[in-house]
Amino acid sequence: MIARNVHRIALAAFAALTLVAAAGASAQPYPSRPVRMVVPFAPGGATDIIARIVAQKLADRLGQSVVVENKPGAGTTIGNAEVAKAKPDGYTFLFAPTPFVISQVVYPTLPYDPQKDFAPVSLLATSPFILVVNAAFPAKSTAELVATARAKPGTVTFASAGNGTVPHLAGELFRLRAGVDIVHVPYKGGGPAIVDLVSGQVPMMFATPIEVSQHVQSGRLRVLGTTSLARLAAMPDVPTLSESGYPDFEVLSFFGVLAPAGTPPEIVGRVASDLAAVMELPDVRERFAQQSAEARVLGPVPFGGFLARERDKWADIVKRSGAKVD
């Protein structure tokens, strides 16, 4: 009898300890282990560089490592799908650039639901494009470029990093707004496109300032306009396309962070707050500026609205231009 009672007491004690341990585990402060940041591009590009800047500073705020995982391919949809299917526990996030919304309007099907499978966390920054031409091309302004294109329909070409990329769709928007017959020449990446632009194989392209800065400084390329609504601080003498006769012409790349749908709101709020603090750091803003990106922070709800507006804008451009991906 005594042995049986001792056994029962031991079992009860074990059960109590188990409950206490479970309660302690569930009450662990967030985060209690490293956080994963999925980047849907290969290492080394602007998106990867910016993501790693953010990850390092976010880790300082969270008190845990933020590990960048590169999942490139299929117009960012491989990396997007990785996060869409991840456990919504606050330990997986997506570093989302502009192709996150473009993929929704250029691909007929996706392995995830972009509206239902993600929770917006924060917009971090935006980056403009510039309209550049080869130095040997006769146009010295956007007006002269349009005049040349109208005089010789179908002969002026523009390069891009590939079908469905932001530079491609920026060119299509320009074609529509200017009413000119210019021909898209897609390349497999921005590097080869710029090589041919510099050599004169193609006369024009929409590119990020950092991509072509050395060629502009050397005089091999000429900047005709910017796709931002305000002139760039680094190029105060270059007019915007909006002031060059195409009101509200704005094409920006953006960088933001998303979580899997169902991630606890308190975690989303915590990470959004920490990201906002990160973007206030002077060294972060300086390093972003080196990548032609300007801090622009929006929290979860306004970032969700921003994504919806971007999606509608690109959907309209794709529909009107007939742009397709390979």
Please write the tens of the pLDDT for every residue from 128-154.
Answer: 999 999 999 999 999 999 999 999 999
Rg of the chain over Cα atoms, rounded to whole angstroms, equals 24
User: What is the C-alpha separation between 50 and 130, in angstroms, rounded?
Assistant: 20
The candidate with the shortest Cα–Cα distance to 131, out of 42, 59, 223, is 223
Short-list 291, 280, 281, CA closest to 128: 291
Q: How many CB atoms lie within 10 A of CB 68?
A: 16
Topology of domain 130-226, CATH: D-Maltodextrin-Binding Protein; domain 2 (3.40.190)
The per-residue pLDDT for range 97-111, each reduced to its tens digit, is 999 999 999 999 999
Q: Which CATH code is given to the segment(s) 35-127+253-321?
A: 3.40.190.150
Distance CA 168, CA 185 (A): 9
pTM of the model: 0.85
Q: Tokens for 319, please give them.
A: 């529909």
Beta partners for residue 204, in sequence order: 133, 158
pLDDT at 253: 93
Nearby residues of 269 by Cβ (< 8 Å), 6 or more positions away: 300
Burial of 311 from C-beta contacts in 10 A (0-12 / 13-18 / 19+):
middle
Handedness of CA 73, 77, 78, 80 (dihedral sign): positive
Tokens 């690109």 belong to which residue? Answer: 314
pLDDT at position 15, please? 42
Q: Torsions phi, psi of 32, nearest 5?
A: -105, 0
Which residues of the chain form CATH 3.40.190.150? 35-127+253-321
Beta strands 130-134; 204-207: pairing state: antiparallel
The band of 27, judged by pLDDT with boundaries at 50, 70 and 90, is low
CA dist 170 and 164 (Å) reads 10
The tokens 């060294």 sit on which residue? 283
3-state secondary structure of 6: helix
| 88 and 260 Cβ atoms separated by less than 8 Å | yes
pLDDT bin (cut points 50, 70, 90) of residue 75 is confident
Nearest of 280, 256, 283 to residue 268 by alpha carbon: 256
Q: What is the pLDDT of residue 320?
A: 94
Helix (H) or strand (E) holding 306: helix 300-321
pLDDT tens-digit profile of 209-243?
A: 989 999 999 999 999 999 999 999 889 999 999 99
Counting residues of the chain whose pLDDT is more than 90, the rounded percentage is 84
- Give start-end residues of each CATH 3.40.190.10 domain in the chain: 130-226
Question: Please, are residues 75 and 99 in contact by the beta-carbon 8 Å criterion?
Answer: yes
Beta pairing partners, 131 = 206, 225
What's residue 131's pLDDT? 98
Task: Tell me the one-letter amino acid at 159.
Answer: A
